[in-house]
Amino acid sequence: MATLPVPETRPMLTLPGDPVRQILWRFADRFDLQMLVASSRGVARGTVARLVAAGERNTHEWTPAKNQMLQAFDQAGITAAFMEPAEGGFIVGPKNLALSLAAFELAWVDGGAATASLAGFLALAPIHERGTPQQVQRYKSLSAPPAPGEDRTPWRGAFALTEPIPYVGVDTGMLSGKVRVAEWNDGSEPWLQVDKRGRFITGIAFADFVTAAVVSDDDRIKGSCVVILEKSDEGTFDRGTPTKKLVHQLSSTGDPVFNLKVPASRIVGGYTVEGGVIVPNFNHGEIIEAVFRRTRVPVGLMTAAKLLSAVEPVIRYQRQRFRGAEGAKPGSIRYEQGIQQREDALHRLVDVWATGEAAASLGFAAARLFDALDPLEKQKNAILKERGIEGPRAEVKALRETEQHAVEMLSLAGDHPRFAERRTELLADPLIHFVLADAEANVLCPATKLWNTGHGANMLREAVSLMGGYGITEDCPGFLANKWMDAQLEATYEGPEAVQRRQLTVTMTGPVFLALFRVWARDMRRIASAHPGTGACTLASAMNLWLWSINYLKSATDPAGNKLYHGQRQGVTFPLADALCWLLASRAQILDVLELESSGASDSLAAEDLPATVEFLSDLCHTQAAQAAGEASRICAELVFGYNHHPRWDEKEHRRCFLSAEIEELEETMPGISAMALDVLASDGTHPQKAGPCAGCAGSDEFLRLQSKLTTCLTGSRLAKDRAAETVSKVTIPEALDYPAAGPA
Ligand SMILES: Cc1cc2nc3c(=O)[nH]c(=O)nc-3n(C[C@H](O)[C@H](O)[C@H](O)COP(=O)(O)OP(=O)(O)OC[C@H]3O[C@@H](n4cnc5c(N)ncnc54)[C@H](O)[C@@H]3O)c2cc1C
């Protein structure tokens, strides 16, 4: 078993700064992204922080002051980050990481501000993902901020899927919004009548256009689609009343009503006419899937930002808590350390910090993956089109063989030259790269949204609690109570946790993902031998336990003979999805720290305090890995054992069985042990039979072996937490927060 090396470095001096973050999250070579981070930070800690401090969150109305924030986004280049250079943007290539970084910076101060910027992108996303070239050109260039010298107010958009109860919410298929043919003269383009009510629609107070999901109410239109509505279209464009939100008040939300006549060219992605029927090229489900796949990642990163943003204000509060009191003179422990004298206060802050690091690592890994996936997806589409394969079903069928190749490729681990040759051969197929990235993205996206926001909200409560009563006041430095409440919205919109768990239920059991996960588990074991201080050992064991459990549960049944792993059986599938997310977040965190360790030395700024920073971040990894392993172990044990009836075992027989294993081990490890000693142990009278385990132990051996390995691999995790706590009590922080806490701007 790995033992933790005794640290030789002194504790980390300051909080990890930008050079460290750029390496961890892999944008050290992207000057464009570094500039975007700097300008987003300026808006967040300037305009946005002043709005919050001035009490702008206390009204549901869209105020002129809130509107200024949108202009600040435009001026800082945040709005243009979504656009291609030809549309008024400045970032070339995929923009998932860019948008995630901007959202992260804004959410560091206020989640609503981040949402206000993201919602505009969400409105454009259906057009960006599936729109016709004309639609893309029109709406993206109208939404781009004016170029220097141009006198134009940029358009803003809103995305309208959710409808008043009892229609669309988690279940996106239950559409009540309708589309009919309004006019269709021979040879000319049809006109549509769109009747849509929205619920909780972000950005509606100022939207110039809306992308709305509707279903056909006319025999001359097939299925469903997303249509683009403009505020000047003929009919009703009623923005509705503002939602009385308790959270994210810097974004606008309301329940609009639309009844508008629009040309059929507003159907996102276009349409064909077949036998006198308008057939949209994409139904609303296909468009929503393409959109949410990417947009959910920045939301997860918003909660990560808030967790990390809590660290500095909590440290400051803890240290300064007793200053000024009698008996707390400068130099005294009470003056210098304040609440940080107390182990629990430090340990809990370490937990918040470790969660924030893991959440950020997971989210940024997902964002980068989507950047890699975007060109692969385009290439895949081109190849399949060339082969005459079109439509989602034909595509799934066509990629099945590639999936088998991907699984084969992943199973050919090891250095045998024959393996390497076959691997190279398989990897020569561009489709295999798409299939691998796609399988991973289909898991990482819902995992980021689910774990970061759901568990993140729980941990923000912890952060709030560390500030005592101050934590639940408006004056709390870092706006922690706002951030805690806001996290609940992040866990809800763009699909609450149930939606993410439902998606994971399907994607995490795909053969390619499982093969990938097996490779990751092996890699983690390898990492453990070189970097035991990261907690990779316990994580690898937990990954193996999860793999064993999912395999077992996929074929196991309950006492009534019903399958355990089944879409309807959310009591099994959902907790397994949760367990996986813990493991994925911990893995991403460890991989980031390894990257820092290997690349940091060549970066003059990051290299400054590198060994100590790596040591500290590794301790956070270890702390997090131990917790992740514990969660996975608890969940898997409950599922593997919990669906059996408690065996009505014979206590005497069970004891004999238990002793049998114990004695067998004794005989093996102590061959010289006397028969008499064995007899004393087997004091039930009869010498144990080696007839296999009794009903109480049956079937559990392998699980218990893996679980016990996991437990013993926890070695050193609490030492790591102690060390991290020690650093937290010593690390230097700035004199004051770099954004206002409360009071008039
Ligand atoms: C401030 C805010 C802004 C928003 N912005 C937008 C926007 O811009 N555009 C837009 O279209 N929508 C928006 N929404 C709507 C948001 O996406 C929905 O609220 C969300 O998807 C959940 O739908 P619902 O509220 O109807 O919950 P419901 O569908 O009623 O679900 C409630 C709960 O029931 C459980 N549940 C439901 N179905 C299942 C299931 N199948 N399996 C297991 N459990 C289940 C879950 O616990 C779920 O959280 C916004 C919401 C808010 C609050």
Q: Do 374 and 293 meet the contact criterion of CB atoms below 8 Å apart?
A: no
- Establish whether residue 169 lines the binding site of ligand 1, counting it when its CB lies within 6 angstroms of any ligand atom: yes
CA distance linking residue 190 with residue 168, whole number of Å? 27
Helices (H), 310-342: 311-320, 333-337
Block residue for tokens 């919109």: 493
The mean pLDDT values, 10 residues at a time, for the chain of 745 residues are 54 96 98 98 97 95 96 96 92 97 98 96 96 96 91 96 97 96 95 98 98 98 98 98 96 98 98 97 95 95 98 97 91 94 98 98 98 96 94 89 95 80 93 98 98 98 97 93 97 97 97 97 96 96 97 93 95 98 98 97 91 97 98 97 73 59 66 65 45 53 94 96 97 91 54
Q: Do 81 and 36 meet the contact criterion of CB atoms below 8 Å apart?
A: yes
DSSP letter for each residue of 652-670: HHHHHHHHHHHHHHHHHH-
Query: Candidates 492, 494, 566, 578: which one to mutate for ligand 1, based on the most atoms within 8 Å of Cβ?
Result: 492
Task: State the distance from the centre of ligand 1 to the C-alpha of 204, rounded, in angstroms.
Answer: 17
Task: State the distance from the centre of ligand 1 to the C-alpha of 493, rounded, in angstroms.
Answer: 6
Helices (H), 508-569: 511-530, 536-555
Which of these, 619, 437, 451, lies nearest to 535 by C-alpha position? 619
Atom of ligand 1 nearest to the CA of 495: 21
The single-letter code of the amino acid at 206 is F
- Establish whether residue 492 lines the binding site of ligand 1, counting it when its CB lies within 6 angstroms of any ligand atom: yes
Q: Is 230 helix (H, G, I), strand (E, B) or coil?
A: strand
pLDDT for residue 584: 99
pLDDT for residue 690: 42
CA distance linking residue 35 with residue 479, whole number of Å? 26
- Establish whether residue 500 lines the binding site of ligand 1, counting it when its CB lies within 6 angstroms of any ligand atom: no
- Establish whether residue 37 lines the binding site of ligand 1, counting it when its CB lies within 6 angstroms of any ligand atom: no
Q: Do 483 and 474 meet the contact criterion of CB atoms below 8 Å apart?
A: no
Q: Six-digit token pair at 569?
A: 């059986």
Q: Do 708 and 542 meet the contact criterion of CB atoms below 8 Å apart?
A: no
Alpha-carbon radius of gyration of the chain: 28
Task: State the distance from the centre of ligand 1 to the C-alpha of 491, rounded, in angstroms.
Answer: 10
The single-letter code of the amino acid at 126 is P
Q: How many residues in the chain?
A: 745
- Establish whether residue 200 lines the binding site of ligand 1, counting it when its CB lies within 6 angstroms of any ligand atom: yes
Atom of ligand 1 nearest to the CA of 245: 1
pLDDT for residue 689: 42
- Establish whether residue 493 lines the binding site of ligand 1, counting it when its CB lies within 6 angstroms of any ligand atom: yes
* Most distant CA pair in the chain, distance: 102
What is the DSSP secondary structure assignment for residue 329, as one 8-state letter?
-
Q: Do 532 and 704 meet the contact criterion of CB atoms below 8 Å apart?
A: no
CA distance linking residue 636 with residue 630, whole number of Å? 10
Task: State the distance from the centre of ligand 1 to the C-alpha of 161, rounded, in angstroms.
Answer: 10
- Establish whether residue 51 lines the binding site of ligand 1, counting it when its CB lies within 6 angstroms of any ligand atom: no
How many alpha carbons lie under 13 Å from residue 4 in its C-beta half-sphere?
Answer: 23
Q: Six-digit token pair at 514?
A: 């499982």
pLDDT for residue 745: 37
Task: Report the DSSP beta bridge partners of residue 324.
Answer: none
pLDDT for residue 466: 98
pLDDT for residue 553: 95
Q: Do 350 and 721 meet the contact criterion of CB atoms below 8 Å apart?
A: yes
pLDDT for residue 490: 98
Query: Candidates 200, 299, 494, 500: which one to mutate for ligand 1, based on the most atoms within 8 Å of Cβ?
Result: 200
CA distance linking residue 72 with residue 118, whole number of Å? 14
E strand or H helix that includes residue 480: helix 480-490
Atom of ligand 1 nearest to the CA of 243: 1
DSSP letter for each residue of 84-129: -GGGT----S--HHHHHHHHHHHHHH-HHHHHHHHHHHHHHHHHHH
pTM of the model: 0.93
Block residue for tokens 């270890």: 622
- Establish whether residue 611 lines the binding site of ligand 1, counting it when its CB lies within 6 angstroms of any ligand atom: no
Task: State the distance from the centre of ligand 1 to the C-alpha of 566, rounded, in angstroms.
Answer: 23
Q: Do 122 and 313 meet the contact criterion of CB atoms below 8 Å apart?
A: no
pLDDT for residue 238: 98
- Establish whether residue 253 lines the binding site of ligand 1, counting it when its CB lies within 6 angstroms of any ligand atom: yes
Q: Do 130 and 86 meet the contact criterion of CB atoms below 8 Å apart?
A: no
What is the signed CA dihedral for 671, 672, 673, 676, rounded to 10 degrees? 120
